[in-house]
Structure 1
Amino acid sequence: MAVGLLFLVCAGAVLYSAEAQDPYSELPDYYKRGVDLALEQLNSHAGVHHHFRFLRSLDKSDIESGFGVRYLYHHFYLKPTRCAKGTTESNPQTCPFRNDRPLMDCAVCYKAAEDQIEPSPKPYVHCIQKPRLTQDMRTARTDHCKKMTYNSGAPTLLAVSTG
């Protein structure tokens, strides 16, 4: 009986710790930079009143071109939180999610060197409330990132998907 109870407690602890994992902290730094850029742009809009947090990735592409340079595409969701914009605590990732607002659908593509976003070509960020995203917008996002040419003979950013 005691062994069964101990097993249940251990299983519960494992499940609790797995749920407590923060998806943002699991991202490599070079993807975090793109999420941070999207959050920065979102927070600069006057119409946005609450803080957002990274929820999950939908698609990622990563092309290494040598010398520590990567070309990245990241499609992800941001979810609104109960924390007011500009009043985030010491760790904004602890703000509780709210479920009464739609998700923000974001796509970013950029060049990174040594895990830092390069200013050229100019990083592309597009975020819109998920219900308002149209097929034309999706196509425009994809086309914009595909048109980014990095060097002669390089594959396009969306030609390689890492999941």
Structure 2
Amino acid sequence: MKMAAGLLLLVCAGAVLYSAQAQDSYRGLPDDYKKGVDLALEQLNAHPGVLHHFRFLRSLAKSDIESGFGVKYFYHHFYLKPTKCAKGTTASDPQTCPFRNDRPLIDCAICYKTAADQIESTPMPYVHCMQKPRLTEEMRTTRTEHCKKMNYNSGAPTLLAVSTGTK
């Protein structure tokens, strides 16, 4: 009986640590990647069918290329997870809303250019987010190809060629 109680305690402690790690994962992102996540969240929250806040869960892959003069190109593939906080509530920090486990994750891929630490409007940032179960292989291929084409300097490697997977 003591062993079962000890095992249960260990599992609960692990769940608390995992939850705390997930909540801190957004805070642990470099600022340039946070800006991309914020852009994806802004677009997702603008959709009328979205009823709850979403939060960053984790990165699947990310890369950046510095092209000089303070210009960088970013690629970020990540998951967003729904929370229990309704959209439109005045939560002081949506990052504190507890996750809900009864809805699918949102799979996002985004690529964008920054200059002077701000996302540039030209070329237009590419944001593609889809509920994970609805994401098809064709959609994955299309968004990957779009980001691969973000080869702004003649002869420069593409964003995905220098991807630093963080699974």
TM-score by length of 1: 0.86
Deviation at 1:20, TM superposition (A): 2.6
Determine helix, strand or coil for the equivalent of 1:89. coil
Match runs of 1:1-163 below 5 Å:
20-21=20-21, 22-163=24-165
Shift of 1:109: 0.2
Q: Would you identify which runs of 4 or more consecutive aligned residues in structure 1 move more than 6 Å?
A: 15-18
Conservation of the 8 A alpha-carbon contact between 1:51 and 1:88: no
Give the letter aligned to residue 70 of structure 2. Answer: G
Q: Provide the C-alpha distance between the structure 1 equivalents of 2:99 and 2:119, rounded to a whole number of angstroms.
A: 28
Q: Which amino acid aligns with 2:20?
A: A
Q: Distance in 1 between matches of 2:45 and 2:157?
A: 33
> What's the CA shift for 1:115?
2.3
Q: Residues 102 and 131 of structure 1 are in contact (CA less than 8 Å); yes or no, is this contact kept in structure 2? A: yes
Residue 9 of structure 1 corresponds to which residue in structure 2?
Answer: none
Q: Which moved more, 1:149-158 or 1:54-63?
A: 149-158
Q: What residue ranges of structure 2 are gaps of 5+ in the alignment?
A: 1-12
Q: Percent identity?
A: 79
Look up the SS of the partner of 2:143 in the other structure. helix
Deviation digits for residues 45-82 of structure 1, max 9, x if unmatched?
00000000000000101111111211100000000000
Report deviation, 1:149.
2.9
Q: 1:49 to 1:16 in 2, by over 3 A?
A: closer
**Structure 1 residues 100, 119: closer, same or farther in 2, change over 3 A?**
same
Instruction: Count how many residue pairs are aligned between Structure 1 and Structure 2.
Output: 150
The DSSP-based 3-state class of the residue aligned with 1:155 is coil
CA distance in structure 2 between the partners assigned to 1:113 and 1:17 by the alignment: 37
Q: What root-mean-square deviation, in Å, do the aligned CA atoms of Structure 1 and Structure 2 show? A: 1.8
**Length-normalised TM-score, structure 2:** 0.84
Paired AA for residue 160 in structure 1:
V
Deviation at 1:88, TM superposition (A): 4.1
